[in-house]
Structure 1
Amino acid sequence: MNITSIIAEYNPLHNGHLYHIEKTKSNTKCDGLIIIISGNFVQRGEPAIIDKWRRTELALLAGADLVLELPTVYAVNSAEFFAFGSVSLLNQLNCVKSLSFGSEEGSLSLLHKIAATLVLEPDDYKSQLKALLDLGISFPAARAKALMNYYNDDTIGTIINQSNNILSIEYLKALKRLNSPICPTTVKRLGGSYNSTEMDRVFSSATSIRTTMKKGAKLNELNLAIPSYVFDALFNDSLCYLEDIYPYLRFKTLTDESSIKNIPDAKEGLENRILKNLIEYKTFDDFSINTMSKRYPLTRINRILTQYFIGFEKFDTYSMRREIPAYGRILGFNDTGKAMLKIIKKNSNLQLISKVPQNLENPMLRLDIASTKAYSIINSKINPNEDYLKSPIII
């Protein structure tokens, strides 16, 4: 069976995602499509606008055959760990032929070259990167500049700073480091950029759709940007935004200031800056404006906030995010997906979980459960114990 895969968040699913799914099926001639999806919190550091089960249902309606959850420790982390967790999960299934991802570049050749350099880290590149970091430049900016200098090519700076290209490079790095037989393929991103807040005539970004919803949805614009079944979900579900967690973060800080210091990325004095500003500023907007800087981009800060809200500080996430996942959580499937699950069980030793056990020993799975409990605080439709109560979505 020719099985291909996509790694996604669908926050929310839009017409650009449909295009990616259709192009992937056409390009790979696959018999089945697995989608690895983030849970109730996403990589940029915020709650998913709608919960993981509804997003699973929408993914199946859009063309997925089997949906597996990306464990929270990877899902709410930097692009490197997000990609590593996703690719290592797919790699362990021992039946996935290809991985399709969107990129602004639209071609693999240059992305492969950059990924190889970042994996091998030649001495010249490493020395330039260290010198730039010593100047206090943020890691993403320093890495881009070091690559530009290494290749003597200014266009690389643009390529490596585009959101989908960044993830594409990390997927390629993970495939190389795992020596995976999975074949990468890319689909050129069309329409609005990943971070665009404005609706686009071709394909609007998920960011622009969330922004439009938050401001007060313009129905005509949304109708053109998303499938009808996603439109119905957005207008009938409880929607969640990053600002919703802010009051709880302030309470947590006021009652236990020390706990945030156990989050791996809250280091180098950033933890003190976050703690001080959580106490001082009563609104999320004021906090953001006064906390972010060139060295500390807002996405990093938001990820730390979301990790803090979920309770990452209670786990050894520094080690966990470097481990290969020991299980695959089944969120949903159709008849083709059911057949794919039989193939996975035959070819892989990975534990497949359709029903979460009451006695949890795996800390990575315990963190997933903590994530849903945290999400239930801001989403009135989610039971804190939903992970134990909910069966996979079957269509």
Structure 2
Amino acid sequence: MNLLGLIVEYNPFHNGHLYHLNESKKITNATHTIAVMSGNFMQRGTPALLDKFTRAEMAVRNGVDLVVELPTLYACQSAEIFAHGGISLLNSLNCVNSICFGSEIGDIDILYLISKILIDEPIDFKIKLKDYLDKGLPFPKARASALFYYITENKLYDTSEEDLLNMLNSPNNILGIEYIKSILKLNSKIKPYTINRINSGYNSLNVNDSICSASAIRNALKNNSLNTINYTMPKDTYDIINRVIESGFNLVYNEDFYQILSSIIIRDKDNLTDYFEVNEGIENKIYNSIFKCHNIETLQNEIKSKRYTMTKISRTLNNIMLGIKGVDILKTKDLTNIPYVRVLAFNEKGCEILKEIKKNSEIEVITKFSKIKYINSNIFNTLINYDIKATNMYNLIYYKDNFDMLKAPLDYITSPKYIK
């Protein structure tokens, strides 16, 4: 078995994802694929358009063999924490041969070189970085300049300082570097590959081609009928979204959680700093702003400043809503062995992967939640309880027009989807 690992969100699965999946299989010669997918909340601190089981089904119907859940504590955080969680989970399986990710640069050599320098921190690089910081340069610019100095001084790669800075400011390159850094930190045998992202940028809202960003698709779904963008996604994705809508479920967006979020902020006024990344006075800005705003967008704009980017604000607010505490992130962010893997969907080849995991790893494979009560581990309980809480919070919105169907917390009663 040549097992390819992917770290994904599939929010939703579209033509760009299909291209990435097929190209990744080609360049790695993979016979089987496993995707570690964010659950019901995304890396940018927003809810998923569709629930995790539905998105996992999309992935398997489009060619992924096994989809497992990236624990919530990792899924909703910065590139460094997100990447560490995904790579640590894949590495804990002891049978993944490679990982392939999309990047703006499409060149694994320069991404690997940068990652190695940032991990090893050669003395010449550290001295230059300190010099640039002492001169008052912002950290991203100082780091890029120090990297450029070290790389060119040692004739390691031919690039300009401007190109290097652009590379380090591109979201998928940033994630790619963090994936490689995690592989190096773990001394993992997983081999990294990358392919160029094509067409629209990560945050582009333009729907003008068959391959566009997931942001553009979500925006179009919010404002138009599904039929107007059917050419941007595989037929299975279109059919599943259509099925969900016809079943009376609403696609989920950030603003749907505003009332829940504002209630928690008001309730927890004196304890906001318990939540991860709520520090340096932003707690006061958040509390005071809640009385001036009527939706999530105006709240974020009220809080935004040179110090806090929109993405950081979004993640911070999401941490408050999901109750993600700083002490729990500290417990898990450097964890090298993830204690469980939660199965969301699989096909026949996925069954073969599960057998390989059970043969090679001591990780707990969760297909039925009734088993988890027999596991007594502080780290396990911390991670799994956030997964359960996130699902329950998400379903308050996802099931708001079908609340009679919520008989219990769905993590306990929903089985993985087997796609024949």
TM-score (norm 2): 0.88
8 Å contact from structure 2 (residues 13, 59) kept in 1:
yes
1:191 to 193, 199, 204: 199
How far the C-alpha of 1:83 sits from its partner, in A, is 0.5
How far the C-alpha of 1:304 sits from its partner, in A, is 1.2
How far the C-alpha of 1:229 sits from its partner, in A, is 2.0
1:136-155 to 2 correspondences below 5 Å: 140=140, 143-144=143-144, 146-148=146-148, 151=151, 153-155=161-163
How far the C-alpha of 1:270 sits from its partner, in A, is 2.1
1:159-178 to 2 correspondences below 5 Å: 159-178=167-186
- 1:376 corresponds in structure 2 to 395
1:345 aligns with 2:382: no
- 1:385 corresponds in structure 2 to 409
8 Å contact from structure 1 (residues 315, 363) kept in 2:
no
How far the C-alpha of 1:167 sits from its partner, in A, is 0.7
SS at match of 2:257: helix
Aligned counterparts of 1:63 and 1:316: Cα–Cα separation in 2: 35
Aligned counterparts of 2:289 and 2:145: Cα–Cα separation in 1: 31
Gap change, CA 1:225 and 1:253, over 3 Å in 2: same
Amino acid at match of 1:388: Y
Aligned counterparts of 1:175 and 1:34: Cα–Cα separation in 2: 17
Cα deviation digits, residues 2-21 of structure 1 (max 9, x gap): 11111100011110000011
SS at match of 2:73: helix
1:282-361 to 2 correspondences below 5 Å: 282-313=294-325, 316-324=328-336, 325-357=338-370, 359=373, 361=376
Amino acid at match of 1:386: L
8 Å contact from structure 1 (residues 253, 279) kept in 2:
no
- 2:119 corresponds in structure 1 to 119
How far the C-alpha of 1:276 sits from its partner, in A, is 2.1
Aligned counterparts of 1:182 and 1:213: Cα–Cα separation in 2: 37
1:230 to 230, 234, 237: 237
- 1:180 corresponds in structure 2 to 188
Gap change, CA 1:254 and 1:138, over 3 Å in 2: farther
Gap change, CA 1:172 and 1:363, over 3 Å in 2: same
**Unaligned 5+ residue runs, structure 2?**
153-160
Aligned counterparts of 2:13 and 2:174: Cα–Cα separation in 1: 20
Gap change, CA 1:233 and 1:368, over 3 Å in 2: same
**Unaligned 5+ residue runs, structure 1?**
none
- 1:26 corresponds in structure 2 to 26
1:366 to 385, 396, 418: 385
Gap change, CA 1:102 and 1:299, over 3 Å in 2: same
How far the C-alpha of 1:356 sits from its partner, in A, is 1.3
How far the C-alpha of 1:123 sits from its partner, in A, is 4.2
Gap change, CA 1:216 and 1:280, over 3 Å in 2: same
Report which stretch shifted further, 126-135 or 282-291: 126-135
- 1:281 corresponds in structure 2 to 293
1:229-268 to 2 correspondences below 5 Å: 229-235=236-242, 236=245, 237-268=249-280
Gap change, CA 1:218 and 1:231, over 3 Å in 2: closer
1:92 aligns with 2:92: yes
Cα deviation digits, residues 352-394 of structure 1 (max 9, x gap): 1111136375111011001101111211158460100001110
In our comparison, the structure showing a higher alpha carbon Rg is: 2
Cα deviation digits, residues 188-222 of structure 1 (max 9, x gap): 110101111111425100011111112224633x1
- 2:156 corresponds in structure 1 to none
8 Å contact from structure 2 (residues 344, 417) kept in 1:
yes
Aligned counterparts of 1:35 and 1:7: Cα–Cα separation in 2: 6
- 1:76 corresponds in structure 2 to 76
Aligned counterparts of 1:21 and 1:40: Cα–Cα separation in 2: 21
SS at match of 1:185: strand
- 2:283 corresponds in structure 1 to 271
TM-score (norm 1): 0.93
Cα deviation digits, residues 321-358 of structure 1 (max 9, x gap): 22232111111111111011111101111111111136
- 1:38 corresponds in structure 2 to 38
How far the C-alpha of 1:268 sits from its partner, in A, is 1.8
How far the C-alpha of 1:313 sits from its partner, in A, is 3.0
Report which stretch shifted further, 260-269 or 60-69: 260-269
How far the C-alpha of 1:266 sits from its partner, in A, is 1.6
8 Å contact from structure 2 (residues 108, 194) kept in 1:
yes
Gap change, CA 1:41 and 1:186, over 3 Å in 2: same
Amino acid at match of 1:224: Y
Cα deviation digits, residues 94-139 of structure 1 (max 9, x gap): 1111101111111101111111122122345445656777899876
Aligned counterparts of 1:202 and 1:274: Cα–Cα separation in 2: 39
Aligned counterparts of 2:349 and 2:165: Cα–Cα separation in 1: 42
Aligned length: 394
SS at match of 2:177: helix
1:49 aligns with 2:73: no
Gap change, CA 1:370 and 1:138, over 3 Å in 2: farther
